[in-house]
Chains A and B, each alone.
Chain A
Amino acid sequence: MEINFEHRQSAHCENGVISNLLNHRGIHISEPMAFGIGSGLFFVYLPFIKVNFAPGFSYRPMPGKIFRRLAKRLGIGVKHQRFSSPEKAQASLDEKLKQGIPVGLQVGVYHLTYFPDEYRFHFNAHNLVVYGKEASEYLISDPVMDYATRLTEEELQRVRFAKGALPPKGHLYYLERLPTNYDLERAIKKGIRQTCNDMLAPVPIVGVRAMKWVAANIRKWPKTIGIKKTNHYLGQLVRMQEEIGTGGGGFRFIYAAFLQEAGTLLNNPALIQRSEEMTAIGDAWRDFALDISRIYKNRKSGSDVYEKLSDQLLNLAERERELFMRLKKDV
């Protein structure tokens, strides 16, 4: 059977799944809107956790957070289920599909057959929608892909029960209850306020302060851990910032799109002004990534390169701090 489900490509998998699932039920919330209301913009630095032999950097909150916040702020009832047995997980999925409900799944990326090899890492917080089953093949709408795809039963079981950090354990979710009316304005303001608070949080591993900490470390790394490792760490930073799913500039452009949409909707010209500033900051993040890539390209070394990168990041942190201080007062 096949559910009449519209596949729309998005920049980020989580926002895409939310936006597509809601769209299916007649609630039209764009990807940037979902991202903004769910307070998706973030920065966190976890020097004590090693991911892919480099410290953990992330430009987004914990997987699933955006969806949960959005659901709460709009009053949407979402049913989440996890399973210990793969058989039960499959049976439950098949049952929902039979009822004509498209189902969101958390999956591991490594065994996704339609991904290019270069992108197959053990990362378990990818999201996609299953909207039907034909013979033993599931119809998949993966929001980061241009087109809808298919996976066999075994392939889907494999990605649903991937192991490692944040194991999906067959995690599935679907919309259970939709609000009769919701207050978009209130939700937007709440989302913006939380983002401001997160980014200005008085802890060293989160938000603007985390960026400053990373900037300070970039200065130190060449001396303490050597050039090779420093370059690898910086590469990791670039990948988290620019890779598939971010919409470019570490989600800054999606957020600027959200501010623009919110400004128009709430008739608040200050937000449109912030959107422009955010776009400029996104461009500066891209320049930062470009300068890091020059290290690989020219094999240029010498400590002044790293000093410059550190200054660049400090400057970014300062600009974002000022922006979020002002944004907080705008709503």
Chain B
Amino acid sequence: MKKNEVPQDEGSLAKKNVHELCYAVDENGRYTTVQSRGWEVKTLALNESLELIEERIADTKRAVMAGTLSPIAYFMELHRMDLPLLASYVGIHRWFVKRHFNPKHFRKLSEKTLRKYADVFGISVEQLTSGIC
């Protein structure tokens, strides 16, 4: 890659005024570093992945509204987590976490357990139990 070929497409990094460093060759064939504002190719790949996450969040939201899943499942997807990851964050075995996805079991959860989940998601217990909208 030549110095003048380093892509400068407006990426999501540039929005936060962050640039990334690329290695490129100057006119004399020597390697040097150039800051890049982003590359469309990467933005497209990243967006594809984000769309997939959005899709999963929307699906889970629908399931929670329909009463087949508890809000815990929704907040898990919202925080880009999966079951094993959420289980290790709250410190509850994944079998139990999976049970808590069931609205019937979720309603019986103690204040203490709800607190654990709420802390991981950075919300209050009321926000966790009051349903999502």
Contacts and interface: CB of A to CB of B under 8 A. Distances in A.
Given A9-B21, A253-B23, A239 B45 contact: yes
A179 B19 CA distance: 35
A254 interface: yes
A194 interface: no
Contacts of B45: 235-236, 238-239, 242, 289, 292-293, 296
A293 B19 contact: no
Interface string A228-251: 000110011011001111011100
Contact of B41 (A32, A145, A242): A242
Contacts of B8: none
Contacts of A289: 41-42, 45
Interface string A253-289: 1101100110000000000000110010011001001
Interface string A135-154: 00000000011100000000
A283 B88 CA distance: 41
What range describes how many residues of A lie at the interface? 35 or more
B108 interface: no
B66 interface: no
A292 B42 CA distance: 10
Interface string B11-28: 011011111111111000
B12 A146 contact: no
Interface stretch (A21-29, A79-87, A113-121): A113-121
A253 B48 contact: no
A144 B20 contact: yes
A163 B23 contact: no
A55 to B, nearest CB: 14
Interface centre among B36, B40, B48, B79 (most CB of A within 10 A): B48
A164 B50 CA distance: 20
Contact of A32 (B20, B23, B44): B23
Nearest to A165: B85
Interface centre among B15, B18, B24, B25 (most CB of A within 10 A): B18
Contacts of A115: 16
Contacts of A256: 23, 31
A5 interface: no
A331 interface: no
A247 B34 CA distance: 9
B80 A248 contact: no
Contact of B1 (A118, A121, A261, A282): A282
A163 B15 contact: no
A114 B88 CA distance: 24
B23 A247 contact: yes
Given A163-B89, A164-B85, A282-B1, A235 B48 contact: yes
Contact of B48 (A114, A231, A261): A231
A145 B20 CA distance: 7
A257 B31 contact: yes
A48 interface: no
Given A116-B18, A145-B18, A253 B1 contact: yes
B65 to A, nearest CB: 24
A329 interface: no
A243 B85 CA distance: 23
A251 B15 CA distance: 25
B15 A116 contact: yes
Interface of B: 1, 6, 12-13, 15-25, 29-31, 33, 35-36, 39-42, 44-50, 52, 79-81, 84-85, 88-89
6 contacts: A9-B21, A120-B80, A146-B19, A164-B84, A239-B46, A253-B31
